[in-house]
Chain A
């Protein structure tokens, strides 16, 4: 195998800023998860607690949202991405040597796979 060369760093401003993308995705996916949990709690609440049944009428959008397959896809993507990326961060800080580019793409791919799988469930 040939030895690895140093990097060619003459086109830095053309490449995607992976760190920025990852960080934004991590925050967005976190937000999605939190929002989902809140919505989920609200939905369960109106279903299970008779005292709150009146709220049901105030949230006519809830079932609509719940029935959108893409929302589930986004949710699955977010959960998988957020979890794996967070684990990657932890692992590297504990000493694991992980390539930041490759690992990011792998995590995105895995998260996308989860999303597609979720979509497929609805389509089928």
Chain B
């Protein structure tokens, strides 16, 4: 059923703490053709390069920590199928800790600054909080974001302009729709650079969780124009 294939992977290696220039190391890996990029990386580590630094945990597209660039496109290593030839690089534009692992502390600082928990004006009732079932479903979908930063890495507006990035817009939208949240999220979105978005939907195309941060931006913009807040 499953065929064997051999793939060639060029992996970017760099230890910033040691200085020196990044270089690409070539590996050949043989395995079943359903291998994911992560399988290739793990095999390289297990068989060929014990000193390779890489990150993963859940291996099923949930923790969002394995994101890398494959042939220039940001993807989740554990979900992306392996290619006959691929160049594997750490996720840009984040600072590299070593080899394929990036430092996400700045991302966390941004999340924290956005205050992404419902700002309650009155306490939770201690009984099912009244939320329309359809809205609850929508909130859950927005909350499926992995914080993988694939969209931020791909976003052309982030590269060109002062814009925090699509993932943050999505989380702000989640709060904007949450019935228990009393804060006004539109100024926050504006502050985070919402108007810089090109509305190009690259984030929608690449999001491994089938989310659309671009839609979140559009919803905020419509809210800005027509002044409609909570649904």
A1-36 to B contact mask, C-beta < 8 Å, 1/0:
000001101111111011110110000000000000
Per the bound structure, the CA–CA distance linking A20 and B153 in Å amounts to 13
Q: Which of B121-173 contact A (CB under 8 A)?
A: 154, 156
0/1 string, A80-103, CB within 8 A of B gives 1: 000000000100111100001100
Contact residues of B between 198 and 228, Cβ < 8 Å to A: 198-208, 210, 214, 218, 221-222, 225-226
User: Cα distance A19–B226 when bound, in Å?
Assistant: 26
A residues within 8 A CB of B226?
Answer: 95
Cβ-defined contact, A95 with B201, below 8 A: no
Contact check, A23 vs B198: say whether CB atoms are below 8 A apart.
Answer: yes
Do B210 and A13 touch (CB < 8 A)? no
Interface residues of B (CB under 8 A from A): 36, 70-73, 75, 79-81, 83, 86, 154, 156, 198-208, 210, 214, 218, 221-222, 225-226
User: Are A9 and B79 in touch, CB under 8 angstroms?
Assistant: yes
Establish whether residues A93 and B199, one from each chain, have CB atoms under 8 Å apart when the complex forms.
yes
Q: Give the interface of A toward B (CB within 8 A).
A: 6-7, 9-15, 17-20, 22-23, 89, 92-95, 100-101
A23 touches B208 (CB 8 A): no
- Shortest beta-carbon contacts, A-B, top 10: A19-B202, A19-B200, A100-B201, A13-B73, A13-B70, A93-B221, A12-B75, A23-B200, A10-B81, A19-B201
A114 to B86, CA, bound (A): 39
- Minimal beta-carbon separation of A101 from chain B (angstroms): 8
List the A side residues contacting B206 at CB < 8 Å. 12, 17
Q: Are A7 and B73 in contact (CB under 8 A)?
A: no
